[in-house]
Structure 1
C-alpha cells in the first residue's frame, strides 16, 4: 500500500515467462496490482488466470517495448485502468546470435539494441512522466541489468553492450529523478533457472574456450530480491544488486 492506503501498482515488462513471470506473481502475492506487459497476449493471459486463482489483481496488456506508440498505449491503459504507477520493472530483453562480431547481422544488432536498450528508455520515459505528476508523487524504477552489465560471455557483443548501457540509464535516472521522488535501481542476475537459461545446464562456452555446465539458482530468489527492492520506502534505494548462482563462473578467473 502507499502512504494513503491505495494499493500499489507495478508494471512488469516481459511478464509472460521466466524472471518477469516469477516477479509479477511474487508482487501479486504481496498485494500489488500488477500490469503485465509482453509481446504475446496468450502467455500474459495465462499469468492473469493464475493470479486470479490466488486472488491477485492483474491486468495483461500486449505491448512491443521497441515501438513508441505501443508503449504510449500501454501507459494510457495504466492511467485509465489503474490511475498511477508505483513500480516499473524493466525486464523485457533478448539475446543475439552467439557468433563472432563480424558474423553478426546488422539488423539483428539493431533488434537487440531496440529491445534491451531503446525499450527500457521508452518505458522509463513514460513511467517518469507519470510518476512525477501523479499524487502521491514519485515511484521506483528497477532495471534488469544482468551479469553481462559487468562481464561478457563469449560471442555476446550486442547483449553485453546493451546491458552495460543499462547501468548508464540507471545512474542517469537516479540523478534526474531526485527532484521528483523517483528512484532507480538495477538488479544484475546470474543464472536463474528459466527457459532462457536452460542451455547453462547443457554446457555453454567459457572464456578459456571450453564448454562447461554452469550451476543455476531458483528464479524465486530473484523474485524475492526484486520484491525487496520494490518494498523499500522512496527515501531508500538499492542502487545496484547482484544475485547469482553461488558457484557460477563470474567471480575470479577462468
Structure 2
C-alpha cells in the first residue's frame, strides 16, 4: 500500500459512520489531512478529536450534500483552511424502502436522487473546480458507487437508478478531467458490514422472492481499497473497482 505525502488533503463525505468513517480513519493513518463532512456534526467532531489525539490532522465540517450552498461553503472552507484538495471521496448516500415501485412515494424517490445523484454531482463539480485552479493543478475524485450501479436488487429502483447515474458521472468526469490532471474513479461495494448492511445477517429478499442471509465483508477491506486508489500517482487511475463478499449473490444474481 502506498504511503501518502503528509501534506496531502482528502475529503470524505458521509464520514460520520460506516464506510465513510472507516475510509477517513484509513486516510488519516496514511498521513492525509482529512476533511470530515456529514450532516451530523457530533460523530465528525468525535472522529476529529480522536485523530488529533493520535497526532493526525482532521477538520470536521457539517455539510448537507443535497444543498448547493452547503457544498459551496464546505469547499470554500477547504480552500481557505487547507489551501488545496488532493483526494475527494464522495461517499454520502442513502436508500429507500424495499417496496414495489407503485408503493414508492415521489418524495422517497426524490430523497434518494437528491442525495445520491445531485449530492455527488455538487461535490464532484466543486472538487473539479478546486483541483483545476489550484497549483499544482490536479487531484483525484473517487465516487462510492455500488454493485447496484451494474445490477439491481429486487425493489430498489431509486437506489439502482441513482448508482447507474453515478457510474456515468464517474466516466464523464474521468474524461473531462484528463486535460487538468484530474483522475476520477469509482469503487463499487457489495455487502460491507456496516450499520446500514447489518440486516444482511438476518436475511435479504432475493430475486426469486426468497429471504436469505447473505455473506458480508469487513469494511476495513473497503477502506484499504480506497487507500490504494488514493495513493496512486495521477498518471494512473483505477476507473472502476469492485470490492464484495466473495460468495454474495452478484455475479449470478437473479
Q: Take 1:253 and 1:72, find their aligned partners in 2: how far apart are those partners?
A: 40
* Displacement after TM superposition at 1:53 (Å): 2.5
Contact residue 229 and residue 237 of structure 2 kept, 8 A: yes
Instruction: Give the match for residue 178 of structure 2.
Output: 178
Q: Which runs of 5 or more structure 2 residues have no equivalent in the other structure?
A: none
8 Å CA contact 1:88–1:142 kept in 2: the answer is yes
- C-alpha deviations, 1:117-172, integer Å up to 9, x for none? 00000001011110001011000000000111111111110000000111100010
| 2 and 234 in structure 1: CA distance in 2 versus 1, 3 angstrom threshold | farther
Deviation at 1:46, TM superposition (A): 1.3
Indicate the SS of the match to 2:98. Answer: coil
> Distance in 2 between the 1:218 and 1:6 partners?
27
- Would you say how many aligned residue pairs link Structure 1 and Structure 2? 253
Q: What's 1:41 paired with?
A: 41
Secondary structure of the structure 1 residue equivalent to 2:140: strand
Judge conservation of contact 2:191–2:200 (CA < 8 Å) in 1.
yes
Tell me how far apart the structure 2 counterparts of residues 159 and 252 of structure 1 sit (CA, whole Å).
20
Alpha-carbon RMSD across the aligned residues, in angstroms, is 1.5
* Counterparts of 1:147 and 1:50, CA distance in 2: 32
**Correspondence for 1:120:** 120
Maintained 8 Å contact 1:2/1:8: no
Match of 1:105 in 2: 105
**Consecutive aligned runs of 4 or more in structure 1 exceeding 2 Å deviation:** none
Structure-2-length-normalised TM-score: 0.97
Q: Secondary structure at the match of 2:207?
A: coil
Cα separation, 2, equivalents of 1:139 and 1:243? 23
Report what 1:238 is aligned to: 238
8 Å Cα contact 1:201/1:214 also seen in 2:
yes
